């Protein structure tokens, strides 16, 4: 489980980073967030939620990180997605910008969590 959690990190961080940059590019060029962007957003959010779930499963198996900030960043990721869900109607006013910034923020949290392990 620990190896899967460690390897899935790359999938989650790269996916959220790429889709986040895509969202900002759409916002800067004032283009609409189409169906493909929405699909990519769902995949990026899903990838990061899988990463957090794998972390929780790893923790429940008794494998604890050496630094408690690693857990902190995982919980902040969950809170960020929770608030995005709560404010989803407001985010639909400028979805590319909102989701792009959120995904880049979550990517940064993932990188910070990783830096507290290595």
CB 16 within 8 A of CB 108: no
The span from the CA of 20 to the CA of 5, in Å, is 22
Residue by residue, DSSP assigns 23-59 as HHHHHHTT----HHHHHHHHHHHHHHHHHHHHHHHHH
pLDDT of residue 68: 81
pLDDT of residue 84: 96
Listed as ranges, residues in the chain with pLDDT below 50 are none
pLDDT of residue 118: 64
Predicted TM-score of the model (pTM):
0.91
DSSP class of residue 30 equals T
């Amino acid at each position: 489980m620990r190896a899967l959690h460690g390897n899935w990190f790359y999938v989650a961080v790269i996916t959220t980073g790429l889709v986040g940059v895509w969202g900002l590019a759409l916002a800067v060029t004032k283009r609409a967030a189409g169906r493909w962007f929405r699909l990519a957003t769902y995949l990026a959010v899903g990838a990061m939620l899988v990463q957090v779930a794998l972390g929780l499963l790893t923790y429940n198996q008794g494998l604890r990180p050496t630094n408690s900030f690693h857990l902190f960043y995982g919980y902040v990721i969950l809170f960020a997605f929770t608030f995005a869900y709560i404010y989803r109607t407001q985010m639909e006013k400028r979805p590319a910008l909102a989701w792009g910034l959120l995904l880049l923020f979550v990517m940064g949290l993932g990188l910070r969590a990783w830096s507290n392990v290595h």
